[in-house]
Amino acid sequence: MDCKTLNRKLPDYFREKPDPELKREMDKHMEGCGDCQSLAERMQSLETVIDREKDVNVNPFMSSRILNYLENRMAVPEASRTYFWKPALVTLGLLAAMAVGITLGSGGAKMTMTEEDSLDKIRSGLFVNDFMDENISINQNSEP
């Protein structure tokens, strides 16, 4: 047997039960060929790792934990029944606060006539008209 044939048939050597005569030929070739023997050892370790990974150790309580999680997630809590009332009450409270604020804010804007008259008197006293207090005339024809 040559190296090329051995390389082609080597995966079957480990995965399946090869023909006893073919197995003897492959063993005889690997005894004399160091490269094929090294390849067979690497292939054997690879097959061992793959077989070990195929064995899955499942936690026996995994399915009950998943079912419990799903049941808790799908259950409708009692608090969600009152969920409608909370936003409605908050909205009504905000509207009431706005109404009180508008009522209090607009109450000071209404003035009676007497208050307006008194404000006009106060305002007129604040401004001084210099031209009325002093008798000043402006001459445009005057020369310096």
Q: pLDDT tens digits for 62-113?
A: 888 888 888 888 776 665 556 677 888 899 999 999 999 888 877 655 555 5
User: Which domain covers residue 50, as residue numbers?
Assistant: 3-54
Helix (H) or strand (E) holding 85: helix 85-107
Q: How many domains does the chain have?
A: 1
- φ, ψ for residue 72 (rounded to 5)? -65, -35
User: Is residue 79 a part of any domain in this protein?
Assistant: no
Q: Using alpha carbons only, give the angle 77, 83, 89 rounded to the nearest 5 degrees.
A: 155
Backbone angles phi, psi at 19, to 5 degrees: -60, 135
The answer to whether position 21 is within a domain reads yes
**27: in domain:** yes
Q: Would you say residue 140 lies in a domain?
A: no
The two tokens of residue 121 are 């008197």
**Length in residues, the chain:** 144
CB count within 10 Å of CB 12 equals 14
| 38-47, 105-114, 122-131: least confidently modelled range | 122-131
102: in domain: no
Q: 141 lies in a domain?
A: no
Would you say residue 17 lies in a domain? yes
- Among 41, 47, 36, residue whose Cα is nearest residue 1: 36
What's the alpha-carbon Rg for the chain, to the nearest Å?
A: 51
Least confident of 8-17, 33-42, 64-73, 129-138: 129-138
Inside any domain, residue 110? no
Identify the residue with better confidence: 131 or 101: 101
